[in-house]
Structure formats: structure tokens, C-alpha cells
Chains A and B, each alone.
Chain A
Amino acid sequence: DIQMTQSPSSLSASVGDRVTFTCQASQDISNYLNWYQQKPGKAPKLLIYDASNLETGVPSRFSGSGSGTDFTFTISSLQPEDIATYYCQQYDNLPQTFGQGTKVEIK
């Protein structure tokens, strides 16, 4: 199975900050990488698919980049409503696997 490692596990930033975190795959997954946001008590929400494509209706402050084994997720200006845990997911091979999550908090 392909292992997905997210870093850091948690971070704290101020409103308006640029926030970046990463996801590393244990093998080359091309651009078959998605990002989800999960708020407490809610179902996950797709934000980015195919590493860099913004899902319809998702604010443009969210972006993704990368290919191969190394991927980055960025919030250009952190907003209070962005408090959540963010998961990466590879779909190059079955079983599709998720990273362990990055929890974003407001400082």
C-alpha cells in the first residue's frame, strides 16, 4: 500500500497568515492526489483534486501543488472558518490511502 505522510500534524497561525503544509507519498503517484477539509463533527469536504485543481465553489485562497511524491497545500490568507483538519489522499493505486491529517488552529 502507498503510505501518505503529512507534515506537520498540527499548526497554529494568525488570521491573515499564509499557511502551508505538505504531504509525501511513499512512491510516485503522479498528480493523483486530493485534499479534503474536515471540520469537527462534519463530513470531509473535497477542496483540491488532481493535486492542483480547485473544486467548484471552493474559495480561491486554497491551492495545491506538486507531483510525484511531494505535494503542498496552501491557504493564502487564513480565515477563522478555515479551522479544521486537512487530509491528503492518493488515488493512484488501490487501496486509496489518506494521510494522517494536519490540524489547523488559530493563534
Chain B
Amino acid sequence: EVQLVESGGGLVQPGRSLRLSCAASGFTFDDYAMHWVRQAPGKGLEWVSGINWNSGSTGYADSVKGRFTISRDNAKNSLYLQMNSLRAEDTALYYCAKGLRGRLNDAFDIWGQGTMVTVSS
């Protein structure tokens, strides 16, 4: 079964850091780009960051550029998001998503259930 399982969310104070993880199974992880997409409570979807299959290409939303870093470990079938200098507006459910094909710009065909990040003092 193709599956993505996120972890690492929680309550964190503004200015602090958090690292999200996504464990993938059921597909050849290093054949696909991977992404993080977030959804603030009651709001729409926002693409946060993406990484291609070999980590050679990454992209970030303007709202997180310079604060968040995406990475992957193909040997561990895992995707990560290092979030620094967190702000209240980063509060959201963070989804891990798999690219449909091999390129960075693409549809997202598999989604995890999300991990909630709450930034508050």
C-alpha cells in the first residue's frame, strides 16, 4: 500500500524551530519529487516546498524562503522540513505529498494525513 506518514508537529513558541518528517512506503521513493503543502485552520491549500528525486533541485514559497529547508534521505525513504524562526502565521496542518511523475513541477497524487504545527506563546 502506498503511504505517507508525517510526524514532528506540535506546539512551539514564535522564533523557535521544528523539524517535520515524512515516512514513505509502497513505492520507489527515489523515483519521485516530494513536497510539503500546508493548510491553515479553515483556509485553503498553500504549497510550501518541493524537492526533486536526487535533491538537486528545490523550491520554496516566498512566505518560507530563508526560514524553511526541505531535504530527503532516499536510503531511509524519508522527507524532511526544517522550520526555523517560526511565526504565528506558520500555524497549519502540514501535508507531505508525492509528485505524480519524476519532475519537480507536477501534480500531487499521494498525500499523507498531515501533522499539525501550532506557533504560539
Task: Considering the complex, give the chain B residue whose CB is closest to the CB of A47.
Answer: B107
The A/B interface has a contact count, at CB < 8 Å, of 61
| Residues of chain B lying within 8 A (CB to CB) of residue A55 | 109
A62 at interface, CB cutoff 8 A: no
Report if A92 contacts B (CB, 8 A): yes
Find out whether the CB atom of B114 lies under 8 angstroms from the CB atom of A43. yes
List chain B positions with a Cβ less than 8 A from chain A: 35, 37, 44-47, 50, 59-62, 95, 100, 104-109, 111-114
Q: Which residues of A contact B114 (CB under 8 A)?
A: 43
A1 CB to closest chain B CB (Å) equals 7
A45 to chain B, nearest CB (A): 7
Is the pair A95, B100 in contact by a Cβ cutoff of 8 Å?
Answer: no
Please report A residues at the B interface, Cβ cutoff 8 Å.
Answer: 1, 32, 34, 36, 38, 43-46, 49-50, 55, 87, 89, 91-101
Question: In the bound complex, what is the Cα–Cα distance between A26 and B114 (angstroms)?
Answer: 29
Complexed CA–CA distance, A49 and B100 (Å): 9
Which of B50, B59, B113 lies in contact with A43, CB distance below 8 A?
Answer: B113
Cα-based distance from A40 to B80 in the complex (angstroms): 26
Q: A38-B45, A87-B44, A89-B47 are in contact. List 13 more A-B contacts (CB 8 A).
A: A34-B107, A43-B95, A44-B95, A46-B100, A46-B107, A49-B107, A50-B107, A92-B105, A94-B50, A94-B105, A95-B60, A96-B47, A98-B45
Q: Roughly how many angstroms separate A96 CA and B47 CA in the complex, as a whole number?
A: 6
